[in-house]
Structure 1
Amino acid sequence: MSRSLGVRLIEGGAEFAVYSENADAVAVCVVGADGTETRTDLGDRTGHVFHGFVRGVEPGTRYGLRVTGPSDPASGLRFDDSKLLLDPYATATTDASDGTILGVVTDPRSFDWGDDAPPRTPLADTVVYELHVKGFTKTMPGVPEELRGTYAGLAHGAAIDYLRDLGVTAVELMPVHRFVQDGHLLEKGLRNYWGYNSLAFLAPHPEYAAADDPLAQVDEFKTMVAALHAAGIEVILDVVYNHTAEGNHDGPTLSLKGIDNPSYYRLVEGDPEHYFDTTGTGNSLNVGHPAALALIMDSLRYWVTEMHVDGFRFDLATTLTRQGGDPDVHSAFLALTHQDPTLAPVKLIAEPWDTAGYQVGGFPADWSEWNGRYRDDVRDFWRGRPGILGTFSQRVLGSPDVYEASRRSPLSSVNFVTAHDGFTLADLTSYDEKHNEANGEGGADGESDNRSSGYGAEGPTDDEGINRLRTRQRKNFLATLLLSAGVPMLLGGDERGRTQGGNNNAYCQDNETSWFDWEHGDDELLDLTRRLIALRRAEPALQPDWYREAPGTGILRSVDLRRADGRRFVASDWLRAEHRAIVFILGHAGHDAFAVLMNAAENGVEFSLPRPPHHAWRLELTSDEGLAVEVARRLTLAPRSFAVLRSTRSLR
């Protein structure tokens, strides 16, 4: 863009700048407390940017835009100056009495960051915790009632102490950009809980603030970031730049659609009345146009420089690479993020797919990716799918089959077994089928291929044997996740056995279905999770890049894969249906070594252990309650269970 867009406070008022390639005129309308408007036309135009000075504007001023131009939907033009539009560069928002969303002028200089510094945790040391700002603290003991479910609630000592005690190094916040509610959900008495319905890419969502004043809401978000930083915890935002809440041709005109529809949205070639859609939401941003790209990049830089966040997870990131239709690793979006010095030190994580393409392994080297193949293969292994052992071993070792050929490290892989979209870990091990009736869509919504199991019952049961097996499986999944090469991402609440009652698409459940249940929880599972995270963070052998010997570098990492009988694998072993057990011997020069035993068979399996590299093998962690602490060279591991053994360099 030829000049900075949005609002810039100067003496006596503010400069406003709005991009519109196709508009005839743009006006700023300051809205008073009584709803009256004071209109100022932006009389200057440089290129496609309308700009001008508006007198009397100050922090807290509420405003909207009226944009004049042709109304010709068949040509892609949807101008209507009877609509008061939200400035896409607004850094705070509020709702007028008639429901119109207004921008609110802010002054970033008003907040004192003190000595705040980003933790800059290396990816190799990172453990991500995905959470929802509201759901995490909505019922949390220790957080004052008036702060629960808010940015201030997440900044409270009780919340931060829990995260720090758990051992995670980063929180990945589900969408906090200002979003709007879906009309069809409100009609059914439901609400958009997840927030993948963004409208303002530079403004925090006001419903998550304890403060009523929009300026105080921005400061509240900053205070939350500073508090998490002080605890050594990074803040990663789940951002939705692939589409907006304005939807398809029948959707509302709230902002971009009325400012410059064909510049900001990708329209169907030959039918510009309709929207190109690879997001499943009705529209896709026009990332082939400089205006849309500038909005995304300006938003990213704003959240890093002004709000001090530490990284981004990009929802349906493949859509952002579609300049001409197909995904393109050389797209302008990827090129811009690669060269931007503001974004260079922060974490960039792609959800590497959209409704029309799957790109796991296809992003550049400086990106990490949600590894959907990890999720699927780990689920398949532990539920007993035959012939999966070779693929499973690749996932545990950092997915070299996906990343090594392009010289990308395992840190490109964000490993996860569960995420907000799908079953929780408790439900993954309690249900054969989804149970989404409360969503009001007749059970048609949500993924049907969940690779889950109730292990003989559907949902809660009094059968002790089934419950014991479910608990073991939850422990197995957590151990696999936290002992695999790559960057682990834990779904918030899985460490406590959080359930959604079998709902695997709780996007519209802003209630106890989605909120954390702090009254009930599995303390044994929580303790194991803490111990696994602590072990991973403390032991170099469990923090691998590629497992390999690297002479001359001063680093010696190694892995030795063994069958249960102690023999090394040959090619034909990997696909044999009866092979459902494996041993990973993990080492690092100068440090303790570990043997990770995994048995996904429905029967106990005898393991023959190789000679320990240091002192005798000793049990560190397991899901097999009957396993002895002192370990002989042969041991039998219970059905569907894991064990971590340690060989110490010195007696302790």
Structure 2
Amino acid sequence: MHSSPDEYEVWPGSPAPLGAHWDGTGTNFALWSAGAHAVDLCLFDDGTEHRLRLRENTHQVWHGRLPGVGPGQRYGYRVHGGWDPSSGLRHNPAKLLLDPYARAVDGDQALHPALFGFRYEGGEGPDPRDSAPYVPRGVVVHDSFPWDGDRSPTTPWSDTVIYEVHLKGATIRHPDVPPALRGTYAGLAHPAFIEHLQSLGVTAVELLPVHHFVSEPHLLRRGLSNYWGYNTLGYFAPHAAYSSSGTAGQQVTEFKAMVKSLHAAGIEVVLDVVYNHTAEGDHTGPTLSFKGIDNGGYYRLREGDPSRYQDYTGCGNTLDVRRPQVLALLMDSLRYWVTEMHVDGFRFDLAAALARSLHDVDRLSAFFDVIHQDPVVSRVKLIAEPWDVGPGGYQVGNFPPLWTEWNGQYRDTVRDVWSSARVGVRDLAYRLTGSSDLYRSDGRRPFASVNFVTAHDGFPLADLVTYERKLNEANGEDNRDGESHNRNWNCGVEGPTDDPQVTALRARQVRNHLATLLLSTGVPMLTAGDELGRTQGGNNNAYCQDNEVSWLDWADVDEDLRAFVARLVRLRRDSPVLRQEAFFEGHELPDTGGTRDLAWFAPGGAQLDTAGWFDTGLQTIGMYLDGRGIRHRDQRGRPVQDDSYLVQLHAGAEPVTVHLPGAPWADGYEFVVSTEWSTGAPPRPAVVAPGPIEVPPRCVWLLRVLRRP
């Protein structure tokens, strides 16, 4: 490491690859900027900044190699160029800029007027104050992590059970994780947490954003911070605050160790990624990286007024994926996380914003084309959040093959049913069986549907059945933020209560939602904490609550609920008929006496007729799944067969008598799961004959079909 600016040499270096790369004797620095007039590389040693002009510019990439500079070096850029916001130009060399390709980040953002490229207090021209003391820097990284023996579980989609979890919130209060590791990559990899995942039977963790992010100035002014992390600044760097060591650059090694530990436990790692916007916000936001490097090159500016940003994300700006350099950034980042960090897939936040060629969402956009032909990214799990906030942005069911989607229609339908909305059972039938109305026409399979009833955004499940009104005052926005229409029901009392009947009903409603989810065809996604009974006290937008509101509370765990979830996941794993790879046909099966692979029964015992399908008041339905009619085959090409089941679902407020179908459908039934019971397990073996039986109010039964030899 050099100690004097006179000792630094800047060799021409290479324009590729972008970022800072150590070759064993020196580091090559390369930064793309089409609009820059000059670029200064800034090195930081013991608080001293050394500014070095990069003299080489090849194909709009400014580059230089510094012999003797190596791992651990902190650095940033200052970009000289035009300042004319009305034309989209926001270059300001007073602002230290983070390298978009930085592999690690050191330091945090501190609220100060110098963060802003314009004069925050008013006035003409660029702000002259130096932002370096208030912004993070990149770190040169060289990591030789021992990946020997690492093997991705590569779980088939049809066998996948996703667990959406916040990396810090998962273990920050876990008593069996050492205090120094809580809330970190190492904490998530600790045996105490991995054993919890294994006991549930989940096959993949979907981590809320772990790309390096910062908090919005408006949150910092209120004494809050961005907890969820949907405010990305560095697309190659693991979030520094999640490292247990606190050493710059060490977060890369710790992240890799976490992935390796999860893989060893049979668990895939999926990252929630935010390529639709960045942490720099709108025209009033800070200048931290892209905005000062090449504002018009990275962002979609408004036609007719390039001083403002086209905002399809609700976050102030939208990255312009139509531009080759931005698309390259996205793809370089994705490939890096797969090849170097060994992750198994991605969930794309507000993915519709990435697919807008002009203003409309375009199934033929460059974004899809590049991902589909990429030999690395096309082979991992790809999940779209298929909407954004722009016109025509709700695109559930419209992403092309290779993609799975967060199925917002599944969430809405299941919530409506259990909140006693008069919606009938027609849409519910589609959702229970993989949403063929959304995914079949273009050749996709049922696992294109990621089914969920809750997610990080909104009420946790315990609150969904406890509150009808959001309580978001702690967010500092006068309760204006968060969804107001949650399609939920509080079981007759708003908020916590000591009434044992209401408490028991709420517990059953939680089990009803979870049973519906885990007995549906498609890919189920559990939200971390729902299996523990976690509450946010009525806050349904806890994005800025980095505290006990959001963290998992391991001291107050509903053990019966945890056992209920584990029981259902285990049943799903052991029962191919509950996780089919192909859509049901509804055809009669040969040699069965007239049964079908899928049949629907009205309460009276007859198959549901047209009038029943369109009866919005119907709240009871039986779904018959014949395990002899599974259409997929095993690895050796042999037909797969399974037990047959009847799922009896009753969402009404009063008991109902249903007629369980007899021959040829069944000679009897065995209770396997009922949401009447706190763990789902019957108190004793229970076999019932076909015919009339009373179903309790608001209940789900899973009955195994019995047949005489």
TM over 0.5: yes
Match of 2:141?
106
Match of 1:66?
78
Shift of 1:388: 2.8
- Cα separation, partners in 2 of 1:186 and 1:570, compared to 1, 3 Å: same
1:159-170 mapped onto 2 (5 Å cutoff): 159-170=193-204
- What amino acid sits opposite 1:586 in the alignment? L
- What amino acid sits opposite 2:583 in the alignment? W
Per-residue CA deviations over 1:12-33 (Å, capped at 9, x if unaligned) read: 3111111111111222111112
Equivalent of residue 187 in structure 2, options 153, 157, 162: 153
Match of 2:584?
547
- What amino acid sits opposite 2:542 in the alignment? A
Equivalent of residue 264 in structure 2, options 230, 237, 244: 230
1:43-62 mapped onto 2 (5 Å cutoff): 43-62=55-74
- Cα separation, partners in 2 of 1:578 and 1:322, compared to 1, 3 Å: closer
Equivalent of residue 27 in structure 2, options 4, 8, 14: 14
Q: TM-score, normalised by structure 2?
A: 0.89
Match of 2:281?
247
> Is 1:491 aligned to 2:527, yes or no?
yes
1:156-555 mapped onto 2 (5 Å cutoff): 156-356=190-390, 357-544=393-580, 545-548=582-585
In the alignment, the residues of structure 1 paired with residue 706 and residue 257 of structure 2 have an alpha-carbon distance, to the nearest angstrom, of: 43
> Is 1:576 aligned to 2:615, yes or no?
yes
Shift of 1:496: 1.2
In the alignment, the residues of structure 1 paired with residue 16 and residue 215 of structure 2 have an alpha-carbon distance, to the nearest angstrom, of: 33
- What amino acid sits opposite 1:65 in the alignment? Y
> Is 1:606 aligned to 2:657, yes or no?
yes
Shift of 1:548: 2.8
* 168-177 vs 47-56, which moves further: 47-56
Secondary structure in structure 2 of the residue aligned to 1:584: strand
Shift of 1:550: 9.0
Shift of 1:44: 1.8
In the alignment, the residues of structure 1 paired with residue 285 and residue 676 of structure 2 have an alpha-carbon distance, to the nearest angstrom, of: 54
Shift of 1:615: 6.0
- Would you say the 8 A contact 2:105–2:249 is kept in 1? no
- Would you say the 8 A contact 2:601–2:608 is kept in 1? yes
- Would you say the 8 A contact 1:592–1:649 is kept in 2? no
- What amino acid sits opposite 1:624 in the alignment? E
- Would you say the 8 A contact 2:588–2:597 is kept in 1? no
* 84-93 vs 559-568, which moves further: 559-568
Shift of 1:578: 3.4
- Would you say the 8 A contact 1:617–1:645 is kept in 2? yes
Shift of 1:627: 9.1
Secondary structure in structure 2 of the residue aligned to 1:644: strand
Total equivalences in the alignment: 647
Secondary structure in structure 1 of the residue aligned to 2:599: strand
> Is 1:81 aligned to 2:93, yes or no?
yes
Per-residue CA deviations over 1:112-155 (Å, capped at 9, x if unaligned) read: 11210111101000000000001010111210011111110000
Per-residue CA deviations over 1:37-85 (Å, capped at 9, x if unaligned) read: 2233222222111122122221111100111111111110111112111
Fraction of identical pairs, as percent: 52
Structure with greater Cα Rg: 2
- Cα separation, partners in 2 of 1:387 and 1:84, compared to 1, 3 Å: closer
Shift of 1:456: 1.1
- Would you say the 8 A contact 1:40–1:54 is kept in 2? no
Shift of 1:238: 0.5
In the alignment, the residues of structure 1 paired with residue 139 and residue 405 of structure 2 have an alpha-carbon distance, to the nearest angstrom, of: 35
- Cα separation, partners in 2 of 1:20 and 1:345, compared to 1, 3 Å: same
In the alignment, the residues of structure 2 paired with residue 410 and residue 251 of structure 1 have an alpha-carbon distance, to the nearest angstrom, of: 42
Q: TM-score, normalised by structure 1?
A: 0.96
Secondary structure in structure 2 of the residue aligned to 1:446: coil
- Cα separation, partners in 2 of 1:21 and 1:607, compared to 1, 3 Å: same
Match of 2:5?
none
Secondary structure in structure 1 of the residue aligned to 2:133: coil
Per-residue CA deviations over 1:503-529 (Å, capped at 9, x if unaligned) read: 000001110000011111221111110
List gaps (5 residues or longer) in structure 2: 1-13, 109-131, 629-640
- Would you say the 8 A contact 1:85–1:258 is kept in 2? yes
- Cα separation, partners in 2 of 1:186 and 1:608, compared to 1, 3 Å: same
Match of 2:126?
none
- Cα separation, partners in 2 of 1:17 and 1:550, compared to 1, 3 Å: farther
- Would you say the 8 A contact 1:380–1:388 is kept in 2? no
- Would you say the 8 A contact 1:482–1:532 is kept in 2? yes
- Would you say the 8 A contact 2:165–2:205 is kept in 1? yes
In the alignment, the residues of structure 2 paired with residue 451 and residue 632 of structure 1 have an alpha-carbon distance, to the nearest angstrom, of: 37
- Would you say the 8 A contact 1:92–1:202 is kept in 2? yes
In the alignment, the residues of structure 1 paired with residue 23 and residue 442 of structure 2 have an alpha-carbon distance, to the nearest angstrom, of: 50
List gaps (5 residues or longer) in structure 1: none
Match of 1:640?
698
In the alignment, the residues of structure 1 paired with residue 290 and residue 148 of structure 2 have an alpha-carbon distance, to the nearest angstrom, of: 36
- Would you say the 8 A contact 1:541–1:557 is kept in 2? no
- Would you say the 8 A contact 1:128–1:488 is kept in 2? yes
Secondary structure in structure 2 of the residue aligned to 1:163: helix
1:138-149 mapped onto 2 (5 Å cutoff): 138-149=172-183
Per-residue CA deviations over 1:165-195 (Å, capped at 9, x if unaligned) read: 1100000000101001122212222111111
- Would you say the 8 A contact 2:649–2:701 is kept in 1? yes
- What amino acid sits opposite 2:140 in the alignment? V
In the alignment, the residues of structure 2 paired with residue 2 and residue 288 of structure 1 have an alpha-carbon distance, to the nearest angstrom, of: 22
* 13-22 vs 158-167, which moves further: 13-22
In the alignment, the residues of structure 2 paired with residue 557 and residue 132 of structure 1 have an alpha-carbon distance, to the nearest angstrom, of: 42
Shift of 1:614: 6.2
Per-residue CA deviations over 1:619-648 (Å, capped at 9, x if unaligned) read: 000012499822222321100001001125
- Would you say the 8 A contact 1:557–1:588 is kept in 2? no
CA RMSD in angstroms, aligned pairs only = 1.9
In the alignment, the residues of structure 1 paired with residue 181 and residue 466 of structure 2 have an alpha-carbon distance, to the nearest angstrom, of: 33
- What amino acid sits opposite 2:146 in the alignment? D
- Would you say the 8 A contact 1:377–1:388 is kept in 2? no
In the alignment, the residues of structure 2 paired with residue 123 and residue 464 of structure 1 have an alpha-carbon distance, to the nearest angstrom, of: 41
